[in-house]
Amino acid sequence: MNKNYSKWNVFAAVVVLASGALLACSQVEAPKTVDPGLADSHWEAPVATHGDAPHDWSALEKSLKPEACGQCHAEQFGDWKKSLHAAAYSPGLIGQFPGMGHVEGNDCLKCHAPLAEQKYVSNRDMLNSLQTKLKQPTGFPENGELDDRQRPLRHAGVTCAACHVRGWQRFGPPQRDTGKVGHVAGTAHGGFTATKDFERSNFCASCHQFPQEYAINGKPLENTVKEWQASRFAREDVQCQSCHMPDRKHLFRGIHDPEMTRKGLAIEFAKRGVQAVLTITSTWIGHAFPTYVTPKVLVRAEALNDDDTVLRKWQWEIIREVYYDEQWREKRDTRLLPGERREFVAQDFPEGSLRVRFVVEVIPDHFYKGVYAGLLSNALEGDAEELIRQAVKQADANDYTLYDEVVLL
């Protein structure tokens, strides 16, 4: 988000992962049938290491880099590296940092590269990182290559360790085949601690939900977990993971993925007397469509004559539009809530109209495009400028057409 976002930097500390706190009993080893839960501190200021690694561990077990985890967890690595979590240390993010300084930059990293081990120690450290990023090859290498100069841990964004490692210990969901919770012995990294907290929506809250005290027109800028809680999906025990990590896959597909968005909606065309009606229903989305203030969805209709000339146009926007004016304000909120059905009606067709065309377009990074344009008009320099230009290209490439049909009137 833009610069003012850092006003929410207290955010990470407020996260509620309370369920574990009641059961946790850190000194005494809990019986294996008791779910230890995640400590409150899991998301507060996550540190993956704490001191030296156990002396009998191999270099591979000691490494926090996703490429290292990937040697043994090839499936998760293969999926995760295609996800946006792997791309969270992005040009559009870090290109803003020279104008902010490394301390404010670190506030942004709370969600984009959350481990203590990923933070900047100085402004110089940050500026060097920008240079490395510009030279870094895109994507991740095949398993095995652990080149720290080209691909520092920081650049891996929301890494495996960000969710799974604290104080060298691995944490994960209940063991797949046995459903075991608590400490599970294993042949690598001293086994792991299994808890059902990994299967719950609250697990995602520290980065995908703002506290209520930052509400704008009653709703925080990021309100995904609350939206979910109010939906039938929460009542039916369909968690974020059910949709975004089916069968525990690590793809985390969202609005940037046309297939995912299509899967969440039912789009139907109908003629109704002198009207042409496109109906969009949110059938499988566990929050508002879209949940963030950053995407925009355009619904357009065109009346066409026999040689495809456009005789009339209609346009609607699905968006929660906010702007900053001393404080954040909401201009409008036309998003679809879970289960909501909305009609887009084209009528009063001009004479000669033969066909009508309905198009639904998704602009996932609409808000950021504005931020980048603003930054570029403010005379950015050097690496920052190059990074923001990359971000503009990427944001433009993310636009897609969700639906495009021409129907006889």
User: Minimum distance from CB of 194 to ligand HEC (Å)?
Assistant: 5
| Sole window of 134-142, 243-251, 310-318, 348-356 interacting with ligand HEC (rule: CB under 6 A) | 243-251
Cβ atoms 178, 189 nearer than 8 A: no
- 240, 280, 319, 356: residue in contact with ligand HEC (rule CB under 6 A): 240
Q: Is 328 in the site for ligand HEC (CB under 6 A)?
A: no
Residue 74 or 409: the one with the smaller Cβ distance to ligand HEC is 74
Residue 304 or 388: the one with the smaller Cβ distance to ligand HEC is 388
Q: Is 152 in the site for ligand HEC (CB under 6 A)?
A: no
- 223, 224, 353, 390: residue in contact with ligand HEC (rule CB under 6 A): 224
| Sole window of 19-27, 81-89, 349-357, 377-385 interacting with ligand HEC (rule: CB under 6 A) | 81-89
Q: Is 369 in the site for ligand HEC (CB under 6 A)?
A: no
Kind of pairing between the strands at 192-194 and 169-172: parallel
Return the number of other C-beta atoms located less than 10 Å from residue 398's C-beta. 18
In whole angstroms, give the CA distance from residue 409 to residue 356: 6
In whole angstroms, give the CA distance from residue 81 to residue 67: 9
- 20, 36, 37, 92: residue in contact with ligand HEC (rule CB under 6 A): 92
Q: Is 290 in the site for ligand HEC (CB under 6 A)?
A: yes
| Sole window of 24-32, 290-298, 324-332, 400-408 interacting with ligand HEC (rule: CB under 6 A) | 290-298
Residue 285 or 356: the one with the smaller Cβ distance to ligand HEC is 285
Residue 339 or 352: the one with the smaller Cβ distance to ligand HEC is 339
Q: Is 294 in the site for ligand HEC (CB under 6 A)?
A: yes
Residues 37-66 close enough to bind ligand HEC by CB under 6 A: 60-61, 64, 66
Q: Is 254 in the site for ligand HEC (CB under 6 A)?
A: yes
What is the SS3 string spanning 279-347? EEEECCCCCCECCCCCCEEEEEEEEECCCCCEEEEEEEEECEEEEEECEEEEEEECCECCCCEEEEEEC
- Closest CA relative to residue 181, chosen from 17, 29, 15, 27: 29
| Sole window of 29-37, 133-141, 160-168, 311-319 interacting with ligand HEC (rule: CB under 6 A) | 160-168
Q: At residue 78, what are phi and psi to the nearest 5 degrees?
A: -60, -40
- Give the CA angle between residues 312, 318, 319 to the nearest 5°: 130
Cβ atoms 122, 98 nearer than 8 A: no
CA distance between the termini of the chain: 43
- 106, 129, 206, 223: residue in contact with ligand HEC (rule CB under 6 A): 206
- Closest CA relative to residue 281, chosen from 265, 300, 305: 265
User: Minimum distance from CB of 312 to ligand HEC (Å)?
Assistant: 30
